[in-house]
Amino acid sequence: MRVGDRTATPTWSLAVALGGVGLLAWRLRLIGLEDPVRSLVLGFVLGAILVASLLVPVVERRARPRTVVAVTSAGLTVFTLAAAITGPRPTVPWAATALWLSLLAAVAEEAVFRRTLYGVLLRRGPMVAVVVSAAMFALLHVPAYGWVAFPVDLGAGLVFGWQRHASGSWAAPALTHVAANLAAVLR
């Protein structure tokens, strides 16, 4: 495993990760605000989370493109299987801005959970990094979706974490997450 050129202080990296999680949770307070204000604020917040997470140096292996493609394909396959098992979901009339916001949300969430937070937790071992980041990802969505979301989002978080571990990069979970959100909005 190649250590990045620089290593960040764990406490400050954790502060960015937890700050990102807190801001992601705050999105719930924006429900009810009308567009375009809501979309603009959401876009700014998600963009800020992404930028702040990318500023934190983390330990990453140099990912081989072939491995990233293979791990992403594996993730997409298991997500497709899960969609087939669970059956059709009630759809909602998304606003036009929901498409790009859901894509930005997927990338920002992966930057927080599978890049920054995972990077901090990796000092305790990959198992801890995968499980704790997945549990926090699932808990984040409970206030918005109810406890019914916890099992499926815990499972999704475990898959994303495994992808991060197997590929050595957060690109594979980000690509899978983007595809899943895209499918949900376009359905």
3-state secondary structure of 149: helix
146 binds other proteins (CB under 8 A): yes
169 binds other proteins (CB under 8 A): no
* Positions 19 through 58 that interact with other proteins (CB under 8 A): 19-20, 22-23, 26-35, 37-39, 41-42, 44-45, 47-49, 51-57
Please name the residue that has the structure tokens 């995972």.
118
Q: Which of 136, 159, 172, 174 binds other proteins (CB under 8 A)?
A: 159
186 binds other proteins (CB under 8 A): no
12 binds other proteins (CB under 8 A): yes
Work out the burial of residue 32: count CB atoms within 10 Å of its CB; fewer than 13 is exposed, 13-18 middle, 19 or more buried: exposed
From residue 57 to residue 96, the character string flagging contacts with other proteins as x (rule: CB under 8 A) and all else as - is x---------x--xx--x---xxxxxx-xxxxxxxxxxx-
Compute the least distance from the CB of residue 137 to other proteins, in Å.
Answer: 9
181 binds other proteins (CB under 8 A): yes
In this structure, what token pair is assigned to residue 144?
């918005």
Cα distances (Å, whole numbers) of residue 29 to 15, 20, 26, 142, 151: 22, 15, 6, 14, 24
In this structure, what token pair is assigned to residue 90?
């009630």
In this structure, what token pair is assigned to residue 52?
């702040």
Compute the least distance from the CB of residue 67 to other proteins, in Å.
Answer: 6
